[in-house]
Chain A
Amino acid sequence: MADKITLTIDNQPVTVAPGTTILKAAEQIGVKIPTICYHDYCTANGLCRICVVEVEGSRTLVPACIGKVSEGMKVQTHTERVETSRRTILEMLASSVDLSEAPDIQEYIVEYHADTARFPEAEERQPSVIDDNPMFIRDYAKCILCWRCVQVCADDAQYTYAINFTGRGYETQIGTFFNKSLPETTCVFCGQCVGVCPTGALKPKREWLLQNGFSQNEIMELTRSQRKQHTRREVPVANKVEQE
C-alpha cells in the first residue's frame, strides 16, 4: 500500500496519508465542506449527509466525513447536484425540528438558500421537554438525531451506555432503555452528551431555567422538593399515538 495518496479536490491537487477522509483532505487545502453530525472527537457515521461531495465515477454522492481518499480520485465539493442535495437536507431538517439554537445550521440555511417553508405539510416533531434530573434537561424537539450523544455515552468517551435510539423512522428518538428516568439508568451525569449536542436539545438545567425567565436567585433558592416538582415524565411519541 502506498504511503501517500494524491487526489484532486475542486481541481486542486492534495497529497495525504492513506485512510484519510475526503473531509480531512479538503481541510488540508482550505476547502470547506459543511458538517452537522460530524464532530472531530466522535466516530463519524455519515448520518446527516450534509457533507456529501461528488466523486468522479461514483454513482451516488459520497459523504466526505467517512469517504476515504483513493489514488487519482477527483472530488467536486460544490457542484449543483451537491448543493441541491445539501439544500434539501436543510429544508427537511427545518420542516420538522426546532433549529432555533443551532446557529451553525442556521448559517448553512442562509448559505445554501434553503427554503425553510418548502414542506408546509410536514409534521413538526414536538415532544415535550424531559426534566427528570437536577443536572440537565432533554428537549428532543430540537434533536436532529446526529448520534453524537449516544456515541460519547458509549465507546467514544464514557463507556456508560445509558442512552440509545428508540423507535423507528419518523418516531426515532434518543431515549433510555425501558424509558426510565435518567437517575434510574446507568447514567453518571458526566454530561459528555451535553458537551457535544449541536442544537441545544441537551442543556444544563440551570441554563434552561435561566432561559425560561427564572432569575439567578430564584434558581438558587429552589429547594430539593421544588427541584423535583419541576420534574415531568415524558410520554414517548410512539406511545402517545397508541393511547390516542
Chain B
Amino acid sequence: MIQSNRIVSTTCPFCGVGCNLELHIKENFIYRVTTPFDGVVNKGNLCVKGRFGYDFIYNPKRITTPMIRKELQEPGKRKQAFDLSEWRQVSWDEALDYTADRLVAIYQRDGYHAMAVYCCAKATNEDNYLLQKMFRSLFRTNNVDHCTRLCHAASVVALQMAVGSSAMSNTAAEVVDNDVFIVTGTNTTENHPIIALQMKAAVKKHGAKMIVVDPRRIELVDYAALWLAEKPGTDVALFSAMAHVILKEKLYNQKFIDERTENFEEFAKSMEKFTPEYAESISGVDRNLIIQAARMYAAAKNAAIYWALGIPEHINGTANALSLINLALLTGHIGRHGTGLNPLRGQNNVQGASDSGAMPWHYPGYMSVTEEENAKKWEQAWNIEPGGLNRQRGLTTTEIMGAIGANGVRALYVMGENPMMSEPNLNHTRHQMEQLEFLVAQDLFLNETTSFADVFLPATSWAEKDGTFTNTDRRVQRVRQAIPPLGQSRPDWQIICDLAKRIEKRLGRPRSAYWDYEHPSEILTEMGSVVKEYAGVKYPRIEKIGLQTPVWDDQHPGTPFLFSESFPRGRGKFHPLVYNPSAEMPDEDYPLILTTGRVLEHWHGGTLTRHSWMDDLYPEALIEINPRDAAHLGVNDRDAVRVSSRRGTIVLRAKVTPKANPGVVFIPFFYGEAAANLLTNDAVDPQAKIPEYKVSAVRVSLARPEELPNPEATQVRGRY
C-alpha cells in the first residue's frame, strides 16, 4: 500500500463544473485522485478526466525547456516543426529576450493593430488577467480574445442584450430543486458529467421532469419526459413556437412581465407567426410535442433551462440564445432558487478568463473598452498616461485569424490554445497561420498550433502553480501547487511578468504597469480593486470553499443565484425574433448535416487528453451515423468512411448508432489525424462572431480500411 507524502486539495482542470480534487502524492508523483464526499460542487463524485486524466503532466513528450526555432520562419513560408531536432533548446533569458525583441520590433514598426493574443480558458484568472494586461498596457491593443468566442460567445452577447449579465444565473446543483427543466444543445452526460448526475438524480429521486431538445439521441433522453428531436439549427423556430403557445394559451406570468421586463408587445407580435405547425415544418418536431413542452415549462412552479454549445454555435447563435431568454422572461422562471438561464460553460475557467478581461470588447469585469470612464479606471490601475489605453474594440478570435497578413496582424501570442484544431475550416486557418511573421507559443506540448511557433515557452500544468479558476456557476476556487514545476517549466503568470518587464524596458515606458508580484493572490487583489464583482474575493476567504461572484466586498457571502431583485440592465428585455436557416443546408451533393462536439474522454484541442492514458479508451475519431443512413450508404459499424464537405475531407471509422438521428452525423473534434474542423463552416454569427460548428453539409462514402490514419489505434467500446 502506497503511503502518500502529502495530499493537496485543488480544483479540476478539465470542465466548467469545477470539481474539488485531492491529489495524493508520493515523491512528486500524483498516483491517486480522490474527492471529499462533503464537497460543495461534486459531492464525492468525479468523471474519468478528473479522477484519472491528470497523467499528461508526466507525459515524456512534454516540453520543459524553452526552445527557439533553428530556421527563421518567414511570412507565407511558415512551417510546422514537430521534430525536436528543428528546435534549439535555450535559456529562459535567451527565450524571453528573443520574444521581447521580436514583439517590440513588430509593434514599433506596424503599431498596435499588428499585435494579437489568444488567452486561455484553461489557465487561471491570474494568468489571463496578466496576459490581457500585458497586451493592453504595453502594446495598446484590444486584440485580446480566447476560445469563449468559439463556444458561448453568442450566449454571452444575448444575455448581455437581454439581462445585462453573462453567466449562469443559478447554481448547477439547484437542478434537484427544479420541477421542470429544459436541456438543449448539451450532451451533459459527457461534457458536464457531474451536472448530468445531478440531473438524473433530479428526475429519479426528486420527481423533476426533464425536456430534452437536441438533434442527437443523447443519453439523457433515457431520463426525459419529452424529447424534441429537432433538426440542427432550428432552435429559434422551436423555442419561439413554445413562446407562441404560452402566449396564445395565456400561460405567461403577467406580474413578472409587468414588473421586471420591457418590450413585451413588440416581442409578442413577432411570435404570432411561430405557430407549432410552422415550427414543425422547420424543425421536424411534432407540433404536439412542442405544445406539451410549452405547457409543461410554463405550468411548473420552478423551471430552468440548461444549454451548452448547441445553442450558440450557429450563425444565428445570438437569436437562438434570445429565444431561450424570451421563454424565461415570459414565465418568470428566473431570479429564484431552482430556476434560471443556465449556459453550461465548457472549460474549467472560461467564465474566469472572460471575467478577467480576455476579451476584445471588454476590460476585466465586462467593462466596455469604448467607454471613456472604464479606460480611465484601468489607466489609473496600470500607471498609464491619460488617453494611453486603446478605446477601440479589438478583434475577436476568428477575426484575428482572418486579419493575419501584410497590413493586419503580424505577431500572435498563444497561451495554451490550439486554434489549428479548434477553428472552423482548418485549411483556411493553416493558410493564415503560415502568413504570421512571429508566433509565440506558451504551452505544455508541441501540438498542431505550437509547432508553427518561433519560440516555445514551456509553462507548467495546473498542478504546478497557484491561482484560481471560476467555474460555470461563478464559483471562484483555489488551484494549488501540488508538485514543483517539471524541468525548467514555469507558471504562466511568472513567464508573463518576466516577459512584460523586458518588453516594458525596451519600449522605454516612463512608469511601470507593475509586474513584481510575489504570489498570484496579489494579482487577484489588483483585479478586484477595479472589478467590483471580485472585490470581496480574497485568497484567505476561499481556502476551503469557493465564493460565487458577484462578491461585492470583504464581508459579502457571494451570490448563489442572480437577478432576485432586478437585472443588471434594469428590466429584462424581450427580443422579437425571426427564423433564419443555417448558412449551409444539405443538398444533393452534400446530403447529410454534420454536427460536431465532444466525448467524455477527450478535451477540446486534445493537447492534454491525447497525451493521457485516457486516449486508450477513445483512441480514434468515430463518425456517429444512424442505422438508416448507414444502410442506405452500405456502411457497416466500424467500416472506414470518407467524409467530405465543401472545405475538406477526412477518413475515419463509422459508429452506426441510433444516437445519431437520420440525416445528421456527428464527429468529435479532438483528432488531428481526422480533424472534424477541416469540414466545418467558418460562417459566423454577425453579432457574436461565433462560427457555425453545429451545421455543415457533408457527404459520406465507404473508404478502404488502409486509408484510416491509424488503423491499429482502436478500442471496442461498450458504452452508449
Contacts and interface: CB of A to CB of B under 8 A. Distances in A.
A194 interface: yes
Nearest to A225: B712
A200 interface: yes
Interface string B143-168: 00000000000000000000000000
Interface in B203-245: 204-205
Contacts of A158: 45, 197
Interface string A201-228: 0001111001100001100110010011
A189 B616 CA distance: 12
A230 to B, nearest CB: 11
B720 to A, nearest CB: 7
B713 A224 contact: yes
Which of under 10, 10 to 19, 20 to 34, or 35 or more describes the interface residues of A?
Answer: 35 or more
B55 A206 contact: yes
A224 B714 CA distance: 11
Nearest to A217: B60
Given A186-B718, A190-B46, A195 B51 contact: yes
Contacts of B197: 157-159
A161 B297 CA distance: 31
Contacts of A40: 37
A100 B2 CA distance: 12
Interface in B19-48: 26-27, 29, 31-35, 37, 43-48
Given A101-B1, A183-B715, A190 B617 contact: no
B605 interface: no
A210 B26 CA distance: 10
Contacts of A159: 197, 200, 204
A158 B719 CA distance: 13
B367 interface: no
Contacts of B33: 204
A122 interface: no
A207 B204 contact: no
A200 B26 CA distance: 17
Interface in A134-148: 134-136
A120 to B, nearest CB: 26
A192 B45 contact: yes
A221 to B, nearest CB: 6
A157 B35 CA distance: 14
B613 interface: yes
A41 interface: yes
A210 B29 contact: yes
B2 A187 contact: no
B539 interface: no
B703 interface: no
Contacts of B29: 210, 216
A188 interface: yes
Given A135-B613, A191-B51, A224-B619, A186 B44 contact: no
A205 B48 CA distance: 13
A97 B33 CA distance: 25
**Which of A180, A194, A195: most chain B Cβ within 10 A?**
A195
A200 B1 CA distance: 8
B530 interface: no
A6 B381 CA distance: 63
Contacts of B200: 159
**Which of A101, A160, A191: most chain B Cβ within 10 A?**
A191
Contacts of A45: none
Interface in A1-60: 40-41
A135 B46 CA distance: 13
**Which of B2, B619, B715: most chain A Cβ within 10 A?**
B2
Contacts of A133: 616-617
A63 to B, nearest CB: 22
B687 interface: no
B718 A206 contact: no
A199 to B, nearest CB: 10
B43 A41 contact: yes
B60 A41 contact: no
Contacts of A227: 613, 616
A216 B2 CA distance: 13
B52 interface: yes
A124 interface: no
**Which of A152, A207, A228: most chain B Cβ within 10 A?**
A207
A200 B55 CA distance: 21
Interface string A144-186: 0000000010010111100000000000000000001001111
A186 B720 contact: yes
A204 B52 contact: yes
A113 B647 CA distance: 75
A185 B59 CA distance: 28
B58 A216 contact: yes
Given A183-B716, A204-B32, A41 B37 contact: yes
Contacts of A207: 2, 31-32
A160 B614 CA distance: 19
B193 interface: yes
B250 interface: no
Given A100-B1, A211-B2, A190 B48 contact: yes
B282 interface: no
A141 B715 CA distance: 28
A130 B719 CA distance: 19
A163 B613 CA distance: 22
A97 to B, nearest CB: 15
B299 to A, nearest CB: 27
Interface string A110-144: 00000000000000000000000111100000000
B35 A195 contact: yes
Contacts of A189: 48, 51-52, 601, 617
Contacts of A186: 718-720
B718 A187 contact: yes
B717 A192 contact: no
A216 B5 CA distance: 15
Contact of A136 (B27, B52, B615, B715): B52
Contact of B719 (A152, A185, A195, A211): A185
**Which of A158, A160, A189, A228: most chain B Cβ within 10 A?**
A189
A101 B32 CA distance: 15
B8 interface: no
B600 interface: yes
Nearest to A206: B31
A188 B618 CA distance: 11
A119 to B, nearest CB: 25
Contacts of A224: 615-616, 619, 713
A111 B247 CA distance: 70
Contacts of B613: 134-135, 205, 227
A25 B147 CA distance: 52
Interface of B: 1-2, 26-27, 29, 31-35, 37, 43-48, 51-52, 55, 58-60, 193, 197, 200, 204-205, 600-601, 613-617, 619, 713, 715-720
Given A189-B52, A204-B52, A228-B616, 9 more contacts: A41-B43, A135-B617, A180-B718, A184-B717, A185-B719, A186-B718, A188-B193, A190-B46, A207-B32
18 contacts: A133-B616, A160-B719, A180-B718, A183-B715, A183-B717, A186-B718, A189-B51, A189-B52, A191-B46, A192-B44, A195-B45, A195-B46, A210-B2, A210-B26, A210-B29, A216-B27, A216-B29, A224-B615
Interface of A: 40-41, 100-101, 133-136, 152, 155, 157-160, 180, 183-192, 194-195, 200, 204-207, 210-211, 216-217, 220-221, 224, 227-228
